[in-house]
Structure 1
Amino acid sequence: MKQNEIVRILEAILMSAEKPMTLNSLMKFFSLEELVTKNAVRDALAEMAGRCDGRGFELRQVASGYRYQTRPEYRDWVSKHWDEKPPRYSRALMEILALIIYRQPTTRAEIEEIRGVAVSSNIIKTLEEREWIRVVGHKEVPGRPAMFGTTPQLLDYFNLSSLDELPALSELKNLDEIYPELAAKADKPENDESDASTGSDDSSRIDASDNV
């Protein structure tokens, strides 16, 4: 099969896909008789990504596979598709998420020890409902507390193929460096942690529409 035909087929598949698709998943669309190799599919994907230069969308490889998506710089316009405001997350929630990202697997008590304040159950619940974190095991200490780790869905949301793309913890000076698009501008009081997310316009909150 010619390269141009492979490109057109993959474009159609990814345009209609509801979620990212891995290289192995894409290979299943081709029969053995078509003699399409993984290298040919990789080359086609690279060509497709190049064709997106200068366009309002891009082909991106995230943790779960390849997907077409709008470019972040156009999120303000794209977000007008939806009447409902996206959820906004507190600075406390993002700090807790950052600790889980960099210290996973970690327990709630370990997070509390580092931050010096109690971790709200609502924050943990919000992160689990977003499928950004999950229980990955239990620490072998009295009470066997749950240990939390991140998920592929978290990587997909932040347009990452792996956690290695984040800055090293030793290089990190503040939370905003983890994902500059979040651009949180104010500190959230610690005693407000019980309110994990809201639709309010509180400037201490981070707008989830930053990744449309």
Structure 2
Amino acid sequence: MEPNGQHSDIQIRNLRVLEALLFAAKEPLGADDLRPYLSENADLADLLDQLQQRYQHAGINLVQRGEKFAFRTAEDLSFLLRRDDVEQKPLSRAALETLSIIAYHQPVTRSEIEEVRGVATSKGTLDVLMEAGWVRMRGRRRTPGRPVTYGTTMGFLDHFGLEQITDLPGLGELKGAGLLSSNLPPDFSVPKPSDGDLTSDEDPLEPDDAGDDLLSDLDARNQPNET
């Protein structure tokens, strides 16, 4: 067993290494990203918990995004940095609706998105969301035609301050915010999204699936513009 002083030095070094890695990272980091830099048998969960507590009342906090971690400005101070934000073009109504459907119904195909919206969804709308880093192609549905399924990304969680996809507002919260009518059918419910691993009715994507998906969407470009 190591002397207490030596153990303390190793612990301090591990914490400093984690702190440095997370500060320098452009995106949230997971266990596989962090463990190689720590001492053997380091308790990563305990180290992350210590860092979270250390920065709990600081100007930045250690937050969890899915299974990954990142330093982010404390929520109560975020307004101070808004003037430095790069102004982004607002999403169109079609893009917002599509993003909401993907977030709550994932994994979901384009035809399923269109069924919920009631109008055609152009490839351009999905491209905008994927270029923003909020939507990704998950896999292929095990149905005729093997359509691509879509889901949200770690960037989506990070941008909207969600730890897990299940932290999306529920029915009561959406009603309270005035985003849903109070005259909904008694059996109406907000879907529970599935994110992460492929579901039993999805196959993994192949390397050329992005090109195949583009070809399969050519017909959609000749459809009327969506509203």
TM-score by length of 1: 0.67
3-state SS, counterpart of residue 28 of structure 1: helix
CA spacing shift, 1:30–1:123, aligned 2, 3 Å: same
Counterpart of 2:99 (choices 94, 97, 111) is: 97
Tell me how far apart the structure 1 counterparts of residues 18 and 28 of structure 2 sit (CA, whole Å).
Answer: 12
Q: Aligned AA for 1:107? A: T
- What residue is the counterpart of 1:116 in the other structure? 118
The runs of 5 or more residues in structure 1 that have no matched partner are 179-190, 195-212
Contact 1:15–1:68 (8 Å) recurs in 2: yes
* Residue deviations 1:141-184 (CA, integer Å, cap 9, x gap): 55443322222332232233321222446875479699xxxxxx
Q: Aligned AA for 1:60? A: V
Larger radius of gyration: 2
- What residue is the counterpart of 2:57 in the other structure? 54
- What residue is the counterpart of 1:37 in the other structure? 42
Q: Aligned AA for 1:46? A: D
Matched, 1:16 2:24: yes
3-state SS, counterpart of residue 71 of structure 2: strand
Q: Could you say what the CA RMSD is over the residues aligned between the two structures, in angstroms?
A: 3.2
Tell me how far apart the structure 2 counterparts of residues 142 and 23 of structure 1 sit (CA, whole Å).
Answer: 38
Q: Is 42-51 or 169-178 further displaced after alignment?
A: 169-178
3-state SS, counterpart of residue 136 of structure 2: strand
3-state SS, counterpart of residue 131 of structure 1: coil
The runs of 5 or more residues in structure 2 that have no matched partner are 1-6, 181-189, 191-223
Contact 1:64–1:152 (8 Å) recurs in 2: no
> Percentage identity across aligned positions?
34
CA spacing shift, 1:175–1:149, aligned 2, 3 Å: farther
- What residue is the counterpart of 1:188 in the other structure? none
Q: How does 1:1-212 map to 2 (within 5 A)?
A: 1-2=7-8, 3-32=11-40, 36-38=41-43, 41-63=44-66, 65-82=68-85, 84-139=86-141, 143-168=145-170, 172-173=174-175
The number of aligned residues is 176
Alpha-carbon distance, 1:15 to partner: 1.5
The structure with higher relative contact order (CA 8 Å, sep 6+) is 1
CA spacing shift, 1:121–1:6, aligned 2, 3 Å: same
CA spacing shift, 1:140–1:4, aligned 2, 3 Å: closer
TM-score by length of 2: 0.63
Alpha-carbon distance, 1:99 to partner: 1.0
Contact 2:17–2:37 (8 Å) recurs in 1: no
